[in-house]
Amino acid sequence: AGGAWVRGLLGWARPERWLASGSVFPLACIHTSTSLQKLGKWEKKNRIVYPPQLPGEPRRPAEIYHCRREIKYSKDKMWYLAKLIKGMSIDQALAQLEFNDKKGAKVIKEVLLEAQEMAVRNHNVEFKSNLHIAESLTGRGRYVKRIRYHGKGMFGIMKIVRCHYFVKLVEGPPPPPEPRKTGFDQAKEYVQQLRNRTLVHTL
Amino acid sequence: MAVVVLRSAPLPRLRALLQRCWGRLQRGLLPAVCGAQSPPWGPALAVQAPACLPEPAEDTGESNEVPSLFDSILWMAAPKKRRTIEVNRCRRRNPHKLIKVKRNIDVCPECGNLKQKHVLCGYCYAKVKAETQLIRKEMGKMEGGPFNAPTIETVVLYDGEKPTEKDEGKRIIERARKRPPWFIQN
């Protein structure tokens, strides 16, 4: 009966709601839990559990989501580092970040090492080098306004800027980079678009 | 009656004012030229006036003067339109602003950490630095104060090493540990 129930599930992933509350029956949930601050969407992505794969299916590569919140750095400056390591293997990314002089490079390196450790420990990844960076994003943190004192009694209002950094590691070698679209390809596409036009509302 | 004598090059504003005054005078004095609109008039009041208008003083001086801040504010550079986010993105994401991938990173043959090709390995440098610090502390203890450096050479000996004939006249620093493999003994 249990097996039939499992097989009866649809192919899509079921988010694991039970673990979060700590009990199966909603009525028994009297929240005395000292849970950490509200979990963000990125942290919850690590909790999805897919149904077991059928024997014929190709192996689904492991995905590890990790992030760090409220980093004291600008999201625009962090974006350049995130763009640098997008699509690289984790070893190459760590090498590039080690010899980069920016402040955010040290932070991102720590995040990547943490994520690698999590992958090996919790997410059943066999080789810690067999990971690549599928997504790396920055987000805006909470800004705080402060007074900046100028001369002659003038003042300005400055923003203390913070950012979040999100990374998704996927098992496997990095995908080959897409070839740049040539002008000839773009021209061909344009001509094809013109040819696909049809007359509407006519005989 | 006042006689207007126009100077050779008065200031443009003054010139415009004078032209307007002269135009008004003309229209007043010769209504027949414009059209018979005003009633026949006679001299209402005669006033003793100077022969010519007081000329604008320091004419040549002012034209040489640099325009004051109030004038220059008018031609200061200022943005005409707000830069759209598309334009801003084109500038910020231009390839020359993106961080370039470094291709000069190698593996240190000694410790296995990463190093840049033209730079010493950071790990190896740090370990040598730490050992040197300890040797210098020992030397400081032996000297006892500043400016007491001896004029003879120094030799560092580790556990179980005896000074050889070559180390006759040299100062000997003892370190209570095994000789590190990278510190070669002569």
User: Is A113 an interface residue toward B (CB < 8 Å)?
Assistant: no
> What is the reported pLDDT for A203?
86
The candidate with the shortest Cα–Cα distance to B1, out of B58, B49, B37, is B49
Instruction: Give mean pLDDT, residues B114-136.
Output: 97
**CATH number, position A151:** 3.90.470.10
CB nearest to B105's CB, from A80, A81, A95: A95
Confidence label for B25 from pLDDT (cuts 50, 70 and 90): confident
| pTM of the predicted model over 0.90 | no
Confidence label for B24 from pLDDT (cuts 50, 70 and 90): confident
Asked if pLDDT for residue B18 goes beyond 50, the answer is: yes
- The one-letter amino acid code at A46 reads N
Asked if pLDDT for residue A133 goes beyond 50, the answer is: yes
Residue A52 lies in a domain: no
Residue A12 lies in a domain: no
> What is the reported pLDDT for B26?
73
A98 contacts in chain B (CB < 8 Å): 105, 114
Contact between chains at B105 and A100 (C-beta distance less than 8 A): no
Boundaries of domain holding A109: 61-170
Burial of A96 (0-12, 13-18, 19+ CB in 10 A): buried
> What is the reported pLDDT for B67?
55
Sequence-distant (≥ 6) Cβ neighbours of residue B39 within 8 angstroms:
none
Q: Which two tokens stand for residue A151?
A: 């001369």
DSSP state letter for A152: T
In A, minimum Cα distance to B94 occurs at A80
Instruction: Give mean pLDDT, residues B136-165.
Output: 93
Q: Which two tokens stand for residue A37?
A: 């601050």
Contact between chains at B116 and A81 (C-beta distance less than 8 A): no
Residue A80 lies in a domain: yes
pLDDT tens digits, residue range B75-94? 899 999 999 999 999 999 99
Instruction: Give mean pLDDT, residues A189-201.
Output: 95
The candidate with the shortest Cα–Cα distance to A133, out of A100, A190, A94, is A94
Asked if pLDDT for residue A173 goes beyond 60, the answer is: yes
B102 contacts in chain A (CB < 8 Å): 95-96, 99-100
Residue A137 lies in a domain: yes
Kindly report the average pLDDT of chain B as a whole number: 81
pLDDT tens digits, residue range B30-49? 655 544 555 556 666 666 76
- Other CB atoms closer than 10 Å to residue B41's CB: what's the count? 9
User: Is A96 an interface residue toward B (CB < 8 Å)?
Assistant: yes
**Torsion B169-B174-B178-B181 (CA) sign:** negative
CB nearest to A96's CB, from B92, B98, B102: B102
Please, are residues A54 and A83 in contact by the beta-carbon 8 Å criterion?
no
Asked if pLDDT for residue A152 goes beyond 60, the answer is: yes
Kindly report the average pLDDT of chain A as a whole number: 89
- Our CA-based measurement puts residue A82 at a distance from the nearest CA of chain B, in whole angstroms, of 10
pLDDT tens digits, residue range A67-105? 999 999 999 999 999 999 999 999 999 999 999 999 999
Within chain A, residue ranges assigned H as helices are 2-8, 18-21, 41-44, 75-85, 90-98, 103-122, 183-195
Q: For every residue of chain B, which 3-state class applies, written as one string? A: CCCCCCCCCCCHHHHHHHHHHHHHHHHHHCHHHHCCCCCCCCCCCCCCCCCCCCCCCCHHHHHHCCCCHHHHHHHCCCCCCCCCHHHHHHHHCCHHHCCCCCCCEEECCCCCCEEECCCCCHHHHHHHHHHHHHHHHHHHHHHCCCCCCCCCCEEEECCCCCCCHHHCCCEEEECCCCCCCCCCCC
The candidate with the shortest Cα–Cα distance to A115, out of A97, A101, A103, is A97
B116 contacts in chain A (CB < 8 Å): 99
How many angstroms separate the Cα of B57 from the Cα of each of B11, B27, B31, B149? 11, 30, 35, 81
> What is the reported pLDDT for B41?
61
Residue A112 lies in a domain: yes
- Our CA-based measurement puts residue B121 at a distance from the nearest CA of chain A, in whole angstroms, of 12
Contact between chains at A84 and B101 (C-beta distance less than 8 A): yes
Instruction: Give mean pLDDT, residues B145-169.
Output: 92
A100 contacts in chain B (CB < 8 Å): 99, 102
With vertex at residue B138, the alpha carbon angle to CA B137 and CA B144, rounded to the nearest 5 degrees, is: 85
How many angstroms separate the Cα of A106 from the Cα of each of A85, A98, A101, A112, A120? 13, 7, 9, 10, 22
Residue A192 lies in a domain: no
- The one-letter amino acid code at B183 reads F
Q: How many domains does chain A have?
A: 1
Instruction: Tell me the domain boundaries of chain B.
Output: 114-174
User: Is A99 an interface residue toward B (CB < 8 Å)?
Assistant: yes
Contact between chains at B114 and A76 (C-beta distance less than 8 A): no
Residue A197 lies in a domain: no
Please, are residues B154 and B139 in contact by the beta-carbon 8 Å criterion?
yes
CB nearest to A80's CB, from B99, B101, B102: B99
> What is the reported pLDDT for A21?
47
Asked if pLDDT for residue A18 goes beyond 50, the answer is: no
A109 contacts in chain B (CB < 8 Å): none
pLDDT tens digits, residue range A153-165? 999 999 999 999 9
Residue A55 lies in a domain: no
> What is the reported pLDDT for A154?
97
Contact between chains at B99 and A99 (C-beta distance less than 8 A): no
Please, are residues A112 and A94 in contact by the beta-carbon 8 Å criterion?
yes
Instruction: Give mean pLDDT, residues B107-117.
Output: 96
In chain A, % of residues over pLDDT 90:
81
